[in-house]
């Protein structure tokens, strides 16, 4: 009678080697993976601002409407309205706007040739003909790292600087 040996599983040594290799890979790559997958609030806010400004520039041409980006420096809030909204719709837009996380602060808004707006509300206009006000929005994170968003009148892209940039510099 012929006896044929059949493998029915893995040996203990094979399992130990595989688990060890997987553990080493996880130990080395989880920090890199977290940076990619888990986004910090600064990146989230930056993406929101850049995306919203692009959408406003495109929407103003497409819908042939004036839009307004409102920046409330005192309450750390950003929202959008348009010229055709009723008073109730404007209040609704303000309530549903972006409330920045506690570790991100709106520092100021700057227009070329004008004083910086350090408190209160700043408005950036997006005109139905496709251009906008030129402005710089400055934010700061909990580590006191500052970021500047440059809105150019005739370009749809927003330039992000990982530093505090002014028009006079």
Host domain of residue 119: 41-161
Q: How many domains does the chain have?
A: 1
95: in domain: yes
The pLDDT tens digits for 58-116 are 999 999 999 999 999 999 999 999 999 999 999 999 999 899 998 899 999 999 988 88
The pLDDT tens digits for 27-64 are 887 766 655 544 578 888 899 999 999 999 999 999 99
Residue 24 pLDDT: 86
49: in domain: yes
1: in domain: no
3 has pLDDT over 70: no
35: in domain: no
Exposed / middle / buried, residue 30 (Cβ in 10 Å: 0-12, 13-18, 19+): exposed
Q: pLDDT: is 124 or 6 the higher one?
A: 124
Mean per-residue pLDDT, 139-154: 92
Residue 140 pLDDT: 92
24: in domain: no
150: in domain: yes
Of 59, 56, 60, nearest to 69 (Cα)?
Answer: 56
β-strands 121-126, 104-110 pairing: unpaired
Q: pTM of this prediction? A: 0.74
157: in domain: yes
Which region among 41-45, 96-100, 150-154, 165-169 has the lowest average model confidence (pLDDT)? 165-169
CATH number at residue 99: 3.55.40.10
Q: What are phi and psi of 53, to 5 degrees?
A: -65, -45
């Amino acid at each position: 009678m012929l006896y044929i040996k059949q493998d029915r599983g893995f040996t203990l040594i094979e399992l130990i080697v595989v688990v060890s290799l997987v553990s080493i890979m996880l130990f080395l790559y989880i920090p890199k993976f977290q940076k990619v997958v888990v986004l910090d609030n600064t990146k989230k806010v930056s993406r929101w601002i850049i995306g919203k400004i692009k959408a406003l520039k495109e929407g103003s041409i497409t819908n042939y409407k004036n839009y307004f980006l409102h920046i409330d420096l005192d309450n750390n809030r950003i929202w959008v309205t348009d010229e055709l909204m009723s008073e109730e719709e404007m209040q609704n837009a303000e309530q549903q706007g972006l409330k920045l996380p506690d570790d991100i602060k709106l520092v100021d808004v700057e227009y070329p040739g004008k004083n910086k707006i350090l408190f209160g509300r700043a408005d950036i206009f997006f005109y139905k003909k496709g251009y906008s006000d030129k402005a710089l929005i400055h934010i700061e994170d909990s580590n006191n790292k500052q970021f500047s968003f440059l809105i150019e009148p005739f370009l749809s892209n927003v330039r992000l600087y990982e530093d505090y940039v002014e028009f006079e510099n």
